[in-house]
Amino acid sequence: MPRTSAAVPRPRRITAAQVAELAGTSVATVSLVVNDKTAGRVSTANIERVRAAVDELGYVVDHTASSLARGTSNIVILIAPDLSNPFYGRVISGIKDELGSEFQLLLSITGEGRNPSAADVHRLIALRPAGILVEAPDDAFLRDLPAGAPLVLLDAPGRETQAVTVNFDLAHGINALLDHLAERGHTRIGYLDSRTRTETFELRRILVETGAAARGMEYVSRPEAASLIDPDAAAEAFLEHWPAWRESGVTALVCATDSHAYGVLKAARDLGVRVPEDLAVTGFDNLPASAIVSPALTTVELPGEALGRGAVRALQAQRLSPEPVTAPLLGATLIVRGSTA
């Protein structure tokens, strides 16, 4: 939206001065009352007068002026690489829940798995946020991020030393998944990666690779097998790589997300590859549709709401004390359905 000189006049807003006049107090007293800082500083009589005046006039503290005076706003920023993955909807719900109505959530999305540019980040810092949450950051981004607000990383395994981080217990979920595949007799495993190069996907791949080896299964490496988090893109990737996987004897394909797996299911159906008879398919997330696709999808459930809530709690802990907080890992649970059994 191009910037324009607003042609529409804004209605006059009620100010603390008007409240003070009606209540017969000073502006300072109004501020103390509306901010609940009256303890031992404002008489009961004045508290009541101010409250009455606030109600009568419908006064609301101007966030802009308040933020300028206090040096910080009530805005919490969530920086996420994408929104096409429905998984983020859950994370956002969790964040909103825990944030309450005191703070506002501002969304910064850049799409296609990219992180915001340095200029974008500067614009965000200029809002004087009360906190910044970053989902799946990359290296360059963390290097450029100017200190300016409490920071919490979400789903960024390996970054625990750089900032407070809230993570899933991926190892637990992936071990359960590989145990399940080994039990089912699979010996060669393929992996369809996400093209967004973030730590969480890096770790998922590595855990599958090392876990497969530990169970005597062969991990058939195919680094080019990757797509955006989108069923259509994943279907295309599968069509391209399936011949090589089949050639290598792959009978189980682990996908980086449920959205990837959806595309694989569709492409497999189009090719006449039977799931799970010819190929077992699994995902991560456990999106609502995973119980309904056909065959239903075996997946490692990642509790997105808990991630959002945990991040806000970590932010709050950081505001209270600057010492780094270690958040417990959030459970990742294997859900077995028809796509592997």
Nearest residue (CB) to a second copy, 188 versus 195: 195
Q: Which of 29, 46, 108, 115 binds a second copy (CB under 8 A)?
A: 108
8 Å CB contact between 95 and 315: no
From the list 101-109, 207-215, 248-256, 277-285, the region that binds a second copy by CB under 8 A is 101-109
* End-to-end CA, the chain: 51
Structure tokens at 83: 């929104």
Strands 333-335 and 298-301: antiparallel
Give the helix/strand (H/E) hosting 192.
strand 188-194
Q: How far is the CB of 74 from a second copy (least distance, A)?
A: 8
Q: How far is the CB of 28 from DNA (least distance, A)?
A: 3
Rounded to an integer, what is the distance from CA 194 to the centroid of its chain?
16
Q: How far is the CB of 74 from DNA (least distance, A)?
A: 10
Give the helix/strand (H/E) hosting 81.
none
User: Which residues are bridge partners to 166 per DSSP?
Assistant: 154
Query: Is 106 a residue that touches a second copy (CB under 8 A)?
Result: yes
Q: How far is the CB of 12 from DNA (least distance, A)?
A: 7
Nearest residue (CB) to DNA, 67 versus 115: 67
The Cα 274–Cα 265 span in angstroms is: 9
Query: Is 294 a residue that touches a second copy (CB under 8 A)?
Result: yes
Nearest residue (CB) to a second copy, 249 versus 288: 288
Structure tokens at 219: 């991990």
Return the residues of window 320-339 that contact a second copy according to CB under 8 A: 320-322
200: buried, middle or exposed (CB in 10 Å: 19+, 13-18, 0-12)?
buried
φ, ψ of residue 169 in degrees (nearest 5): -85, 70
Q: How far is the CB of 333 from a second copy (least distance, A)?
A: 17
Rounded to an integer, what is the distance from CA 222 to the centroid of its chain?
28
Interface residues with DNA (CB under 7 A)?
A: 13-17, 24-29, 31-32, 34-35, 37, 40-43, 45-46, 59, 61-62, 65-66, 68-71
Q: How far is the CB of 30 from DNA (least distance, A)?
A: 7
Q: How far is the CB of 101 from a second copy (least distance, A)?
A: 6
Query: Is 158 a residue that touches a second copy (CB under 8 A)?
Result: no
Q: How far is the CB of 120 from DNA (least distance, A)?
A: 18
Return the residues of window 221-250 that contact a second copy according to CB under 8 A: 230-232
Nearest residue (CB) to DNA, 26 versus 162: 26
**Sign of the CA dihedral 126, 129, 133, 139?**
positive
Q: Say which entry of a second copy, DNA, none residue 262 contacts (CB below 5 to 8 A, set by partner kind).
A: a second copy
Return the residues of window 161-190 that contact a second copy according to CB under 8 A: none
Nearest residue (CB) to a second copy, 108 versus 167: 108
Q: Which of 27, 125, 271, 327 binds a second copy (CB under 8 A)?
A: 125
Give the helix/strand (H/E) hosting 107.
strand 104-109
The Cα 125–Cα 228 span in angstroms is: 29
Query: Is 3 a residue that touches a second copy (CB under 8 A)?
Result: yes
Q: Please give the torsion angle defined by the CA atoms of residues 173, 98, 132 and 115, in that order, rounded to the nearest 10 degrees.
A: 50
Residue entry with tokens 């901010």: 35
Q: What is the DSSP letter of 291?
A: G
Q: Say which entry of a second copy, DNA, none residue 37 contacts (CB below 5 to 8 A, set by partner kind).
A: DNA
Nearest residue (CB) to a second copy, 220 versus 279: 279
Query: Is 259 a residue that touches a second copy (CB under 8 A)?
Result: yes
Kindly calculate the radius of gyration of the chain based on its CA atoms and give it in whole angstroms. Answer: 26
